[in-house]
Amino acid sequence: MSLTTDLIPDGAFHGVASRQSMKESILHHLRYTLVHLPQQATPRDWWLALSLAIRDRITDDMSMTQIAHNSDNVRRVYYLSMEYLMGRMLINNAHNIGVYDAAKQAIEELGLDWEQICDEEMDMGLGNGGLGRLAACFLDSLATLDLPAIGYGIYYEFGLFKQEFLQGRQVEHPDTWIKYGTPWDIIRPEYSQTIQYYGRVETVYDSAGNSRPVWVDTRSVMGVPFDIPVAGYDTKTVNFLRLWSSHSTEDFDLEEFNKGDYVEAVRSKAMGETISKVLYPNDQNANGKELRLVQQYFFVACSLADILRRFEKMNSDWTKLPDKAVIQLNDTHPAIAIVELTRVLLDDKHLSWDSTWDIVTRTFAYTNHTLLPEALEKWSVGLFEKVLPRHLQLIYEINHRFMGEVAQRWPGRDDICRALSIIEEGEHKMIRMAHLAVIASHKVNGVAALHSQLLKSELFPHFDQLYPGKFTNKTNGITPRRWLLGCNPGLVQLFERYGIDRDWPKNLEHLRTLESFLDDNAFLDDFMAVKHQNKVHLAKIIKKECDIDVDPFALFDVQIKRLHEYKRQHLTLLNILTLYHRLLNHPESNTVPRVFIFGAKAAPGYALAKDIIYAINSVAKVINNDPRIKGKLKVAFLSNYRVSLASHIIPAADLSEQISTAGKEASGTGNMKLALNGAITIGTMDGANVEILEEVGPDNIFIFGLNVDQVRALDHKGYNPYRYYQQDEELKGALDWLCSGHFSPNDPHAFDSIRNSLLQGGDPYKVMADYRAYMDCQQQVSDAYQDKPRWARMAVLNTARMGKFSSDRTIQEYADEIWTLPAYPV
């Protein structure tokens, strides 16, 4: 691009970013932005000055990228997501723009501790778990692959709650990440949007006697965008994430203001600010709250208005919109965008229905993230009518036309009409957002091969028959920049020492060359020495955070993910209780010392999940303080699991627990991060575990338990968890012991809820059925761990064979097969 060279005085920063210029830049920001001299500066000041120095080296490329994309009127993908779990940005940005070494050396030459400075950054935790982290990895890959892309979301004032344990129980605190600002956002008041909601629909007649609906008596709210630059790795492309913050509009309180009630006017002004106040902390669970619907519409309407504004600057023919914009819906959370675009084209731009619907269906694509019924979004018709009355009318119109299609395809089949309708009939009529998203999208994808199969065969079989070819798979991935280059410097250095192709962060498949060292004992020792160093480092964190001493030579057995019954942390708890029992009864046995490491937040309203946290912490307390087992078993539950904590735990893991009930975990991405860092998976045939097995081979993973077909067969014939309980002495012993009061003397019934869900409650997630297979498989793990060369080879092969799970591969597939979006290097 000649544009770039014309407008920017030849790169004072890029490529020649030396530690000297970095140091000058840090000191400059310290002195003139933060107004401190070095002797006054706190670690936070240094972190901020460093971040601003790095930001300076990103923003010119950001401007240039946008000028190039705009002036060439390029096709773009717009990624709409309610959640972005970005974590910290400093290290990731430094690596991506190639100044990591310069920045680290500059900080060290200033007499500072690199890790301590980096630790000052608050996580940007604007997401719950896998779905939000996927969006963050995708942004990194989109920029790295030079794809024109903008992410849209909400600028939550409070991200996911901060978790603390008080006497073993979860307590939530607000996450005040933005309280003192962040160096990574840029406010863009000039692109603010005002949107309408509530009100009612009136029919008006024009002079020719033609009626049309108008949405009147609405309330309005303003969205102010904050842009977060997203720099690609080793490329000039800098895309951005645009997050909307809500503010009241002037006219919102004009009436009260004119009445002279100034204070009341200002007070009610605060209502508009609540929309973007806080992230809902429910993972894999829809909750139907009005504010949540308002949040969804708020960010969708602002984003769509922004997208259409950009389109209208360069184009005049609305039928060309799908050539310039493809909108990817991350789950159904932003699916109201479908109706909003319909409304704008029909009501504001006065297009015909057929033209409107053709544009809409060519613009949207939808990613499904779950089969769990409790996570499929439904909104009550009554609530929708109150908040978005015009949109409800349009949904009925879309559904009416769609029902006509269904009746034509399956004449007389009212049962199929009912099953496929966007409207679920019943005492309370509900709007099924997934049906809307499937009907209006040109592609619908699942997030792992198994999940995409089940989507077609179980969740949407008739839709698949009606729209052959619409359903596809895009197996999730993770960015190797954050989840190896950024989090595991020891391993990165090892790659350098052994001459691994330096472009592995862009071509993860190149790590396959590690396989040529499988018979090189020095390499295997070095690889495991890095793992050991990472374990020593994590042991220090565990000591500091939990005051537990753990032996870095023990097997580090890691389960880190949201707490949910389907993820079965309680199955791990039964394993721990069983091992503890065995140790006490066979103290002479030569068992492998293990440290169980947990990280998990429970949704604040999910009582059983919180009981499981309390149970693990209670059992941990007894085990960690029992001298009889001589430290052979330890349990460390780190509080406040988040991206930055994950990046310390993952490089230190030996074993990766991926033990969801088959058919329940759509993909998982934690499984990929851990395997990439040389942890061996113990897992079920679920989600992307199936594909990890395909990549690493059966000798390098531990697979156990029921597969999906066996789970279905068990349900079909009638599952009886009691049978497993009564027939397995160790299982009965573990569960009875948990509920004996031994682990919670002050509250002997604290864990009855767990027992009840597993027995009387029917054990919906088949914990009892999988227990024995799990225990047997864990024995194989212990045996393998004792064979050091074998374990080392398995670990290396896991790192070497994760190439498929780079989110670059995932995004390239979206670009080729869903978006038809060419790369556009600037």
Ligand X SMILES: *Cc1c(COP(=O)(O)O)cnc(C)c1O
Could you tell me which stretch among 138-146, 304-312, 577-585, 638-646 binds ligand X (CB under 6 A)?
Answer: 638-646
Q: Which of 237, 370, 479, 669 is catalytic?
A: 669
Q: Is residue 336 a contact point for ligand X (CB under 6 A)?
A: no
Q: Is residue 295 a contact point for ligand X (CB under 6 A)?
A: no
Could you tell me which stretch among 127-135, 292-300, 485-493, 707-715 binds ligand X (CB under 6 A)?
Answer: 127-135
Give me the half-sphere count of Cα atoms (radius 13 Å) on the Cβ side of residue 522.
3
Q: Residues 6 or more apart from 110 whose CB is under 8 A from it?
A: 23, 26, 27, 38, 46
Are 690 and 733 within 8 A, CB to CB? Answer: no
Place of tokens 């192709």: 501
Q: Is residue 130 a contact point for ligand X (CB under 6 A)?
A: yes
Are 484 and 510 within 8 A, CB to CB? Answer: no
CB of 85 or CB of 147, closer to ligand X: 85
Report the candidate in 478, 477, 447, 475 with the shortest Cα–Cα distance to residue 92.
478
Q: Is residue 642 a contact point for ligand X (CB under 6 A)?
A: yes
Are 648 and 636 within 8 A, CB to CB? Answer: no
Which two three-digit tokens encode residue 148? 């024109």
Which two three-digit tokens encode residue 179? 């309280």
Q: Which of 64, 94, 97, 129 binds ligand X (CB under 6 A)?
A: 129
Burial (0-12, 13-18, 19+ Cβ within 10 Å), 313 = exposed
The least CB distance from residue 659 to ligand X, in Å, is: 10
How far apart CA 808 and CA 443 sit, in angstroms, is: 20
The least CB distance from residue 643 to ligand X, in Å, is: 5
Q: Which of 668, 683, 721, 803 binds ligand X (CB under 6 A)?
A: 668
Tell me whether residue 369 is one of the annotated catalytic residues: yes
Q: Is residue 481 a contact point for ligand X (CB under 6 A)?
A: no
Reading across the β-sheet that carries 430-432, which strands appear in turn? 378-380, 430-432, 423-424
Q: Which of 55, 535, 562, 594 is catalytic?
A: 562
Are 283 and 128 within 8 A, CB to CB? Answer: yes
| CB closest to ligand X, residue no | 670
The least CB distance from residue 82 to ligand X, in Å, is: 15
Are 22 and 99 within 8 A, CB to CB? Answer: yes
Report the candidate in 352, 340, 349 with the shortest Cα–Cα distance to residue 394.
340
How far apart CA 688 and CA 453 sit, in angstroms, is: 12
Q: Give the helix/strand (H/E) hosting 125.
A: strand 124-126
Tell me whether residue 673 is one of the annotated catalytic residues: yes
Q: Give the helix/strand (H/E) hosting 364.
A: strand 364-367
Amino acid identity, residue 275? I
The least CB distance from residue 491 to ligand X, in Å, is: 18
CB of 272 or CB of 668, closer to ligand X: 668
Number of helical H runs and strand E runs in the chain: 34, 25
Q: Which of 104, 236, 343, 369 is catalytic?
A: 369
Q: Which of 567, 570, 632, 634 is catalytic?
A: 567
Question: What ranges in 703-766 are assigned the alpha helix state H?
Answer: 708-717, 721-727, 729-738, 752-758
Q: Which of 29, 57, 133, 435 binds ligand X (CB under 6 A)?
A: 133
Q: Is residue 446 a contact point for ligand X (CB under 6 A)?
A: no
Tell me whether residue 333 is one of the annotated catalytic residues: no
Site for ligand X in 152-181 (CB under 6 A): none
The least CB distance from residue 688 to ligand X, in Å, is: 9
Q: Which of 241, 436, 643, 781 binds ligand X (CB under 6 A)?
A: 643
The least CB distance from residue 445 to ligand X, in Å, is: 17
Site size with ligand X, rule: CB under 6 A:
13
Are 659 and 567 within 8 A, CB to CB? Answer: yes
How far apart CA 504 and CA 384 sit, in angstroms, is: 49
The least CB distance from residue 284 to ligand X, in Å, is: 9
Site for ligand X in 72-91 (CB under 6 A): 85
The least CB distance from residue 672 to ligand X, in Å, is: 8
CB of 130 or CB of 159, closer to ligand X: 130
CB of 65 or CB of 475, closer to ligand X: 475
The least CB distance from residue 638 to ligand X, in Å, is: 12
CB of 129 or CB of 389, closer to ligand X: 129
Q: Count Cβ atoms below 10 Å from residue 663 Cβ, excluding itself.
A: 24
Place of tokens 């569960």: 735
Could you tell me which stretch among 5-13, 39-47, 125-133, 374-382 binds ligand X (CB under 6 A)?
Answer: 125-133
DSSP code string of 571-639? HHHHHHHHHHHHHHH-TTS-PPPEEEEEE-PPPTT-HHHHHHHHHHHHHHHHHHT-GGGTTSEEEEEES
Q: Is residue 369 a contact point for ligand X (CB under 6 A)?
A: no
CB of 470 or CB of 562, closer to ligand X: 562
Report the candidate in 300, 448, 287 with the shortest Cα–Cα distance to residue 364.
300
Could you tell me which stretch among 211-219, 267-275, 641-649, 769-777 binds ligand X (CB under 6 A)?
Answer: 641-649
The least CB distance from residue 561 to ligand X, in Å, is: 3
Which two three-digit tokens encode residue 310? 């950009």
CB of 126 or CB of 528, closer to ligand X: 126
CB of 524 or CB of 679, closer to ligand X: 679
Tell me whether residue 23 is one of the annotated catalytic residues: no
Q: Which of 80, 275, 646, 739 binds ligand X (CB under 6 A)?
A: 646
CB of 85 or CB of 514, closer to ligand X: 85
CB of 360 or CB of 666, closer to ligand X: 666
Could you tell me which stretch among 105-113, 423-431, 526-534, 639-647 binds ligand X (CB under 6 A)?
Answer: 639-647
Are 226 and 188 within 8 A, CB to CB? Answer: yes
Angle among Cα 673, 92, 648 to the nearest 5 degrees reads 45
DSSP code string of 513-568? GGGGGTT-HHHHHHHHHHHHHHHHHHHHHHHHHH-----TTSEEEEEES---GGGT
126 three-class SS: strand
Q: Residues 6 or more apart from 342 whose CB is under 8 A from it?
A: 356, 357, 360, 394, 398
The least CB distance from residue 387 to ligand X, in Å, is: 30
CB of 446 or CB of 668, closer to ligand X: 668
Which two three-digit tokens encode residue 567? 């993820």
Could you tell me which stretch among 610-618, 622-630, 664-672, 701-709 binds ligand X (CB under 6 A)?
Answer: 664-672
Could you tell me which stretch among 187-195, 411-419, 442-450, 669-677 binds ligand X (CB under 6 A)?
Answer: 669-677
Tell me the per-residue interface mask from 688 to 717 with ligand X, x by CB under 6 A, - otherwise: ------------------------------
Amino acid identity, residue 420? L
Could you tell me which stretch among 41-49, 308-316, 333-341, 662-670 binds ligand X (CB under 6 A)?
Answer: 662-670
Crossing angle (nearest 10°) for helices 100-109 and 19-32: 60
Q: Which of 148, 389, 446, 670 binds ligand X (CB under 6 A)?
A: 670
CB of 50 or CB of 680, closer to ligand X: 680
Q: Which of 95, 456, 561, 801 is catalytic?
A: 561
The least CB distance from residue 596 to ligand X, in Å, is: 16
Q: Residues 6 or more apart from 364 whose CB is under 8 A from it?
A: 326, 327, 329, 337, 338, 341, 437, 440, 441, 442
Site for ligand X in 545-604 (CB under 6 A): 561-562
Q: Which of 451, 610, 632, 673 is catalytic?
A: 673
Query: Which stretches of the chain bind ligand X, using CB under 6 A?
Result: 85, 129-130, 133, 561-562, 642-643, 646, 668-670, 673
Residues designated as active site: 369, 561-562, 567, 669, 673
